Each structure stands twice: as C-alpha cells, then as structure tokens.
Structure 1
Amino acid sequence: MRLSNSTAANLPPEVARFRYERGQQRIGIVHFGIGAFHRAHQAWYADCAMNAGERDWAICGVSLRSSDVSEQLQPQDGLYTITTGADEATRLIGAVREVLQGSVDADAIIARIADPACRIVSFTVTEKGYCRKADGALDHSRVALSFYPLLARGLAARMASGAGGVTLLCCDNLAANGRVLADLFGQYCTTHDPDLADWFTNECRVPSTMVDRIVPRADLARREALADKMGVVDQGAVFTEGFCQWVIEDDFAGPRPGWDAHGVQFVSDVAPFETAKLRMLNGAHSLIAYAGLRAGHGFVHEAMADPALRNMADQLMRVEALPGVPETQGLDLTAYADVLLERFADPALGHRLAQIAMDGTQKIPQRWLDTALACQEAGKDCPAIVAAFDAWLWHLADARFVDDPLGPELTSLMANRGRGAVIARCFTDPAPLWPGYASLADLFHTLQAPPVTRAPWPQSQPR
C-alpha cells in the first residue's frame, strides 16, 4: 500500500506531519529538477514556512526528462517523507502539490509559470543542465530538452497577461549562479524572443544562492525499514543529514516566504559563502570521491576513516582553499572546516563515492582549479589539489566509475594517447575543455603516471 492522502491519516505517531490544509495552499513555486536534493532542501523549507502559517507556497515540480519522479510522487498525491540524522526522525512533507513531466505536460507547466500565483521559479538541474559551452556561453544546440523553452513560454505568457515578473532561484553549484542563470536565459531570449529579453531584464530578479545539504541515494534496505516503520510504502522518500543551509541574495521580484525564520540567511552578497562551499566542501568531496575509489572505498565515511585521505581533505580545505575565501560576517571558516570533516565522517549518511564522482568535467573548475589559481597567484603550492587531479586522471584510466557528459571522449583519449593528451585537451588545446586555466597545465604535467591499479569493486558498493 502506497503513501497517499488517504493512507497518510493512518501513519504512526512517531512520523511527524504538517499542520496546514494542502488543498487551501496555492502553488507559488514552480521547480525544475525535482530530485532528492530538492525534496530534502527547498521543498522542506517551503513545508516549514507553510507549517508556520504562511500561505500559497506550494510547489509544482517539473521533471524534464525521466518519468521516475512523477511515477514516485503522483500516485502519492505529491506526499513523501524525509528522514534525518542518526536518530532517523521521519517527517511527512506536503509542500509538493503536483509533479509534471516536461515531455508530456508542456502546456500545464507553461500555465503554472504564467499563473499570477507563481512568484518563484527555482532550479536544481545540476551543472550540466544549464547547457553551457566551454567558454560559458549558452550552447543553443542543446537547449531543446532543457528548461529554457518552457521557462521562456511561461514568462512570455506572463508578459502578455500583465501578471508581472518572477524571481528565478538557481540552487545548483555554479559560481555566481544567479548572474550565470540570468545571462544564459538572456542569451536564449535574445535569440528566440527579443521582446521577452527586455521584459525579463526589467521585471524579473535572479539572486545568487548557496545551498548545502548532503542527500545520499537511498538504498533498498533503508526504504524497506521505512516501510516497516510507517506501514505504507513511500517511493519518494529521502534520507539526509540534520545539517541544512541556504544563503540567498536578498533581491526578489515580489513576495518571498519567511524562510529566515527557519534558518535561511538572506544576505547582500552570497559570494563568500558560495566560494567557501565550492572550494572547501565540494572541493574536498570530489578529492575524497576519486582518491577514495582508487583506494577501494565505497562510501565517504569509509574514505574519511583512511588517515591519508582525511589528511588530504583537511589540507585542501584549511591550507589551500581557505586563504582564498573572502572574509565576511557570519562565516567562520575554521569552524566550517571542522564541521565539514565531522559531516563527512558520519556513517549514517551512507554517501556513495561514485555518486559524488559523477560529472567531473562540469565540477572540477569551480571545485579545484579556482583554488589552484589562487595558490599560484599567491606563490604557494597546492599538493592536495595536485593529488586530487591525479586521482581524477586515474578515474579516467580505470573507467569503471566514469559517468560524465564527456566521459566517452576522455576515457578513449586516455586509453589511446595517455595522460598528457588528456591534460592538453583540458587546458591548452585550441578549444580547451576549461578555458582560462592554461597556466595550470604545467602543474599537472609534472605528475608521474603510476600504473593503473584496479582496486576490487568495494564490497559496500555493488554495481
């Protein structure tokens, strides 16, 4: 029996639940990319706000390609649970009113964006979902299946009806993500609807944000244990840590939820928080992922129990990344590093290294290379970044764990021409994979190429 409106009333008392009437809450947020992270983060905050008495911040989730999330949540009337922390406290979330699929529900998605009740359109589509070329410009050849056409048609309908602008909230790991999204969508509109481009610039706002919560993929055992606990099956369940952070530039086109009452920080400048997260948390996470897989580990907590890997992560965060993060009120970087090491070591999370290792070509510049440039400019070495890059090269040579848009190209290049050719492709080719980082090529060319050793697939991480 599935979780739904009809079965939720029979959940055991240890499952906390919302107090608001879902049917009386209008949809105020349209969200593209309604995966586990969104359900554990932005939707959780929306649920908190409505539970505290705010109205009309219910969510219409949009799944652009896969029907998986729609199939998980629609039979459950949008309901799902979030289980947090080592004590596995479970709470029923009612913020998601509907889930639409881009390939079949285009008209309904456009109507939701055009509805005057909609005041925020938000995104967790991952770095690759923004369809950027290597130079940062919009790749128009890839936008057909992205969010851009649906967003443009929805905003064009608002423009025609006089409904007014909305706030676009990018919740992905992109440096200056608000400015990036505004620029990319502006490029799309300039090509497809110049009138909309002017209206968008004048009427809409795109604040930058920083989001942080570790949300591992839920395994079958945890789902089965949850079903036993609740007496119903929840196909949309998410499991996460107790820690949650959201920092938002306070620049909205209209009303916003009172998320600050639930821990969200509204600030004038997100950049220091964003830089700290990308270079310290995300940078160390990627180091642990590639070096941990090479060492035969399956989970983050296993890699953190390896003294050599823990020391590398600590070196990257405190010695190499931290000095390049701007100081700002409310951000204690030494304490931040302490908390990150504690979070990474938590075995209750069960965060798989292979999940973090995905899409490396989309992540490495902001996670490692910006730190390496800052060290280079300061005349300092960055051995942890060098070791991390070496582990990524091993990852390409090993090839078992690679899940990346450019994976086929780079694994083939590595197999046929070796590490030097991969480094040249990344930094110094006429059209390099990562423009602007050519000065780092020599740093990584000095790496000695050890033989590729295929550690056994970790027992804790079956294929």
Structure 2
Amino acid sequence: MKLSLPQATIVQFGTSRFLLGHVAAFAGAAIENSSSQEAVLVVQTSQRPEGKIKAAALAREGSYPLHIKGLRDGQRVDERCSIASIAGSLIAQEQWQALEHHFINTARWVVSNTGDSGYQVADDSSLAALPRSFPGKLTKLLYARFQAGRPGLTMLPCELLSRNGQVLKKIVATLARKDYQDTQFNAWLVSDCCWVNTLVDRIVSAPLEPVGAVAEPYALWAIEQTPSLVMPFEHAAVEVVSSLQPYELRKLHILNLAHTYLVDQWRHLGLAGVSYVREAIQEPQLRNRLSEVMEREVLPVLSLELPGMDLAAYWLTTLERFENPYLDHRLEDIANYHRDKLARRLSPVVSMATPYNIPTPRLNAAIKRAEHMGGV
C-alpha cells in the first residue's frame, strides 16, 4: 500500500542512488517492522533529466527495488528488497509551491546528499523565486516555515564533509542574514533548528532503472549526539555517538588508507593485469603487503589514538568489503589525486606514530614513492 503524504515527515533532497540505498532504505526497514511510520518525500533539486525521470518513477510507484550484493561474515549475499518508504516526490523546479506547503506543514527532518559541490552558493539568493543552490532553497523554505510560526526542523545532511551539519548551518545562517536581515529568524535557526553532524559509509555501486539501487551489505550512519536531537527511526546501521571524530579517523585511516596503499603497491609492483580492488585483494603479494602495513604500522598506532573503536573488527570488515565479488571498483579511479590522498590518509598516521616510537617504514616508502613520481 502506498504511503500518504502526511506520513512524509522526512524531506529528502536528492534522488541519488546513495540515499535510496542508505537513509530511505533504513526508513523503509523501520516501517516494515512497524517500529516507525515516518515516510520520505523525495525532492529533485537539479535540472538533470535523469533525476526528473527518477522522481516521476518514485511518485508513481511509491516503492523501489534495492539489490544487496556482497559478502557478510564470509558468505555471499544476494538479496532483493522492495523499499516502501517513499510517500511521494516533487520536482523543485516545477512544484515549488507544493514543496513549500509540505515543508511548512508536515516536515520534521531534512536529509540531503547533494554531491561534492552541493554546498556551493556563489551569488545565489534565497530571495529568488527558485534559488539555484541547495542552501539557497533550504534557506527560503526555512524562512517560509518560520514566518508560518512553525517549530524548527532537524537537519541530517549526508554529504561527505567533516562536520557537515555545522558547515550547512553556517552557510544557511550567512544567507539568512544577507537576504532577510531578520534577527528573530536568525535566532530561530540557532535555537529551534537542530543541525546534526553525520557520517555515512556504504557503497551503493549502481543504479537500477527506472529507479532503485545496488548496495553492499555493510552500512553505517553515525549520528553525532546533539541537544534536542530526535531521530525519525531506529535501525541496526544507525549509531548515535557522542563524537564523530573517532569514526571519521577510523574510516579515513583504515578504509581510505587501505585503498590508497593498495594503489601504491599496485603501481610499485607493476601489476598491469589487475584492474579492480576485488582483484587486487585476491593477488597474494598485494594482500600480504596490505595486511603487513595495517597490522604492523596502522593498527598499532590507531589503537593508541582511538581506544575502544574495535579497530581489528573494522579492518576485517574492510577486507571483506574489498573482496566483494560484485563490485567493480577501479584502482585507476582510486589513483586520482594520489599525492593528495597520501597526505590526508597516510601522513597523519606517520605523525601519530612518532610519539609512540612505532616505526612506519612501509608508509614512509609509499609517501616517498609518490614524491619521486611527482604525485600523479
């Protein structure tokens, strides 16, 4: 049965396959097990034709397929689900008045995943009939809600940006001061709205047509505890934590570091016949070298820096994710901006190791190789 719009208290900005395989899927699971009735209204914010096609399909069907493929506890997973959390969808460019009405009268939570440039504002204004940027649209909608005398909302951004909730809050507050010059609105944004930092971690590897997604079994949505925070649902993949920093560092210096070190060794050994992460992790030399650097250098350092984070278990889970036989994650793609990635992912671990007198010869060699190659 299709959900009704009054149930769509979660307003999701973006039709990306990631959100369909992550937040909207979690909402669907909560509805299915009767632990929540908070449904999703999807908002198509860009002018991309493919996005409009997905929005139309969601509005028409109300549910979509999610195909979960990969490994879990050493066993192959190949599951097909029907996610029924979507109560409707709107195209901002064509249905702004309906969106504003819903935002004022029904919304309680805002979820977003607007891509790498999603927070860019440039010369946009929330006073425009249809602001171009996501922050411009959000500011305009929040002002309409404020003027209607409605309570504030909880923002749960999913962009891959450290302290994303606070970054979004600052951008919206700046737009609000510039456009409205209303001190009461400024105060409402701070006191009545809840701006939450979150960290997302799931590979949603492919779209399904006309709408849907293929995702790996692993999933995490870490939510930083914030005063007045109330979550729309509970799910095994959702963790409300006192601080996101340990989770960000764990992901950066285990998952992301391992990707970059694999690329370093792949280049160093000249293994031209290996193209994907899943192939690399099955190649004995690459797997052994990756395991050595992780177990002898990275994990000993991180265990002292991040106590209580169950790093060994996270590393085993990371290896299993790399082994996913269904995922074509190209090493050449990971190799982009290699020197910058080394600086963010490997170099800090070397710096952390120094006070503990933990040698890091493998990490040091990878950094030096990139410098010698010019960081390509």
**TM norm. shorter chain > 0.5:** yes
CA distance in 2, matches of 1:356, 1:74: 34
- 1:284 is aligned to 258
Contact 1:207 1:252 in 2 (8 A): no
* Residue 65 of structure 2 corresponds to residue 81 of structure 1: yes
Q: Which amino acid aligns with 2:86?
A: V
Instruction: Please give the per-residue CA displacement for 1:115-164, whole angstroms capped at 9, x wherever unaligned.
Output: 33211111222343233xxxxxxx63588642111000010011111111
CA-CA distance at 1:40 after TM superposition = 0.7
Instruction: Provide closer, same or farther for how the CA distance between residues 81 and 152 of structure 1 changes in structure 2, counting only shifts above 3 A.
Output: same
* Residue 216 of structure 2 corresponds to residue 241 of structure 1: yes
More strand by share: 2
Alignment of 1:271-350 (within 5 A): 271-288=245-262, 295-296=271-272, 297-311=274-288, 313-314=290-291, 317-318=294-295, 319-320=297-298, 323-324=301-302, 326-327=305-306, 329=308, 331-350=309-328
CA distance in 2, matches of 1:66, 1:290: 36
Instruction: Provide closer, same or farther for how the CA distance between residues 41 and 75 of structure 1 changes in structure 2, counting only shifts above 3 A.
Output: closer
* Residue 86 of structure 2 corresponds to residue 96 of structure 1: yes
CA-CA distance at 1:56 after TM superposition = 3.1
Alignment of 1:209-248 (within 5 A): 209-218=198-207, 234-248=209-223
CA distance in 2, matches of 1:149, 1:365: 33
Contact 2:111 2:156 in 1 (8 A): yes
CA-CA distance at 1:51 after TM superposition = 1.5
Question: For structure 1, which runs of at least 5 residues remain unmatched after alignment?
Answer: 1-19, 132-138, 224-233, 392-443, 453-463
TM-score (norm 1): 0.65
Contact 2:14 2:43 in 1 (8 A): yes
TM-score (norm 2): 0.79
Instruction: Provide closer, same or farther for how the CA distance between residues 247 and 178 of structure 1 changes in structure 2, counting only shifts above 3 A.
Output: same
* Residue 333 of structure 2 corresponds to residue 351 of structure 1: no
Q: What SS does the aligned partner of 1:83 have? A: strand
CA-CA distance at 1:298 after TM superposition = 3.2
Q: What SS does the aligned partner of 1:179 have? A: helix
- 1:66 is aligned to 48
Q: Which amino acid aligns with 2:38?
A: D
CA distance in 2, matches of 1:44, 1:122: 13
Alignment of 1:351-390 (within 5 A): 351-353=329-331, 356=334, 366-368=344-346, 370-371=348-349, 373-375=351-353, 381=360, 383-384=362-363, 387=366
Contact 1:190 1:197 in 2 (8 A): yes
Alignment of 1:186-201 (within 5 A): 186-195=173-182, 196-201=185-190
